[in-house]
């Protein structure tokens, strides 16, 4: 993890202020890390951030990701389908995820123009749809080369 730059010299400072959030070292460090390493859990984020912000507590990291998610600076995803939240800064487009069912590797998948999966439900049951998530599950090339595991990841 690289040291956090001065707070006002980051591209995130203006975006935080635009959304009514204070610019803090924790928020800047979290955004920088998630930009460099998307699909990170809060626990992984805490482990990375304490190298530059040793006083940062796990609860502080949970508060940071909650605030950043609520204000649209990051997106909370569950591409492994295991209930484990992961976070990414790629919020400005409609992309999906591909996860390996064996090793858990996660990759972004851009939508193919004209061939998007069903993202419009036949019935909304009186609700306004805010977001649609599609996660493709497969086996990555590295796992494909390994002998079969007796305990594959849950789908």
Least Cα distance to 103 among 77, 139, 135, 134 occurs for 139
Q: What is the pLDDT of residues 29-54, one digit of tens each?
A: 999 999 999 999 999 999 999 999 99
Q: Is 118 annotated as a binding residue?
A: no
Backbone angles phi, psi at 134, to 5 degrees: -125, 130
CATH dotted code for 93-144: 3.30.1490
Q: Is 111 annotated as a binding residue?
A: no
Structure-token pair, residue 11 = 């591209």
Structure-token pair, residue 112 = 């193919």
Mean pLDDT of 119-148: 80
Q: In what order do the strands lie in the sheet with 106-110?
A: 106-110, 95-100, 135-138
> Degrees (nearest 5) of the Cα angle 13, 15, 18?
110
Q: What is the pLDDT of residues 78-116, one digit of tens each?
A: 877 777 899 999 998 878 888 888 888 899 988 766 555
Residue 121 CB-half CA count within 13 A? 12
- Confidence tier at 151 by pLDDT (50, 70, 90): low
- Confidence tier at 135 by pLDDT (50, 70, 90): confident
- Assigned fold of 7-77: Arc Repressor Mutant, subunit A (1.10.10)
Residue carrying structure tokens 């990170």:
40
Percent of the chain with pLDDT over 70: 82
d(CA 91, CA 108) in angstroms, rounded, equals 12
The whole-model pTM stands at 0.77
> Do residues 7 and 28 touch, judged by C-beta distance below 8 A?
yes
d(CA 28, CA 20) in angstroms, rounded, equals 14
The DSSP annotation for 56-79 comes to: --HHHHHHHHHHHHHTTSSEEE-T
Contacts of 136 (CB under 8 A, 6+ apart): 96, 97, 98, 99, 109
Supply the mean pLDDT for the chain.
Answer: 85
Question: Would you list the domain boundaries of the chain?
Answer: 7-77, 93-144
């Amino acid at each position: 993890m690289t040291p956090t730059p001065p707070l006002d010299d980051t591209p995130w400072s203006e975006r935080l202020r635009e959304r009514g959030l204070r610019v803090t070292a924790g928020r800047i460090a979290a955004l920088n890390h998630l930009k460099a390493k998307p699909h990170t859990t809060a626990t992984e984020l805490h482990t990375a951030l304490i190298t530059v912000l040793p006083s940062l507590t796990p609860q502080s990291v949970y508060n940071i990701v909650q605030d950043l998610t609520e204000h649209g600076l990051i997106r909370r995803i569950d591409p492994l389908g295991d209930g484990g939240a992961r976070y990414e800064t790629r919020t400005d487009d409609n992309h999906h995820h591909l996860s390996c069912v064996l090793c858990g590797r996660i990759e972004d998948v851009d939508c193919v123009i004209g061939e998007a999966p069903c993202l419009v439900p036949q019935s909304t049951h009186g609700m306004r749809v805010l977001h649609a998530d599609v996660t493709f599950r497969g086996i990555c090339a590295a796992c494909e080369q390994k002998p079969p595991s007796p305990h594959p990841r849950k789908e």
